[in-house]
Amino acid sequence: MEITYRFSCEDVTTRELEELFAAAGLGGRVGDKIRRAFLNSQLVCLAYEGTRLIGASRAITDGEYHGLIYDVAVHPEFQAHGIGRRMMEELLERLPVWRVMLVAGEQVQGFYRTLGFERYPDAMARLESSYLYDAPAGAS
């Protein structure tokens, strides 16, 4: 199995991302919004087997103090082969900042622990669910 890594997402399609995230159990990412989120992120690391997208991850940063990593996913057929770790290492190498944060459910916290992440009690978040999806076509 030869996996290659890309650091630009100009060629990635909405459909490829939707399929990957649905297969990895992060299926709330639908429509072109997910592709735009990748395009608008300063850092991306995508994993391919041949031309097939099998892993994705992205980060935003101020380049000085802070970085945020989002949407780390490996297709289930390819999990447990070091691909998630490699994508994270590629992002972290490009994030020379004091604090890198991410959101992780209990079931994947062990994965991030292997990369040096710890629970961070001071984090707060404000959620605005009306921004979660694109407005339906024709809606004003």
Ligand X SMILES: CC(C)(COP(=O)(O)OP(=O)(O)OC[C@H]1O[C@@H](n2cnc3c(N)ncnc32)[C@H](O)[C@@H]1OP(=O)(O)O)[C@@H](O)C(=O)NCCC(=O)NCCS
Is 112 catalytic? The answer is yes
Residue 114 sits in the site that holds ligand X (CB under 6 A): yes
Q: Where are the beta strands (DSSP E) in 1-140?
A: 3-6, 43-49, 52-61, 66-74, 99-102
The angle, 0 to 180 degrees and rounded to 10, between the axes of the packed helices 14-23 and 32-39 is 100
**Candidates 112, 120, 131, 133; catalytic one:** 112
Q: Do 57 and 45 meet the contact criterion of CB atoms below 8 Å apart?
A: yes
Output the smallest distance, CB 139 to ligand X, in A: 30
Nearest CB to ligand X, comparing residues 97 and 112: 112
Per CB under 6 A, the list member of 17, 43, 53, 73 interacting with ligand X is 73
Piece of 5-13, 37-45, 78-86, 124-132 that binds ligand X (CB under 6 A): 78-86
1: contact with ligand X by CB under 6 A: no
Structure-token pair, residue 36 = 């735009």
**Per DSSP, what are the bridge partners of residue 46?**
6, 56
CA dihedral 16, 21, 22, 26 (to 10 degrees): -160
13-72: contacts with ligand X (CB under 6 A): 24-26, 72
Q: Which residues bind ligand X (CB under 6 A)?
A: 24-26, 72-74, 79-85, 104, 107-108, 110-111, 114
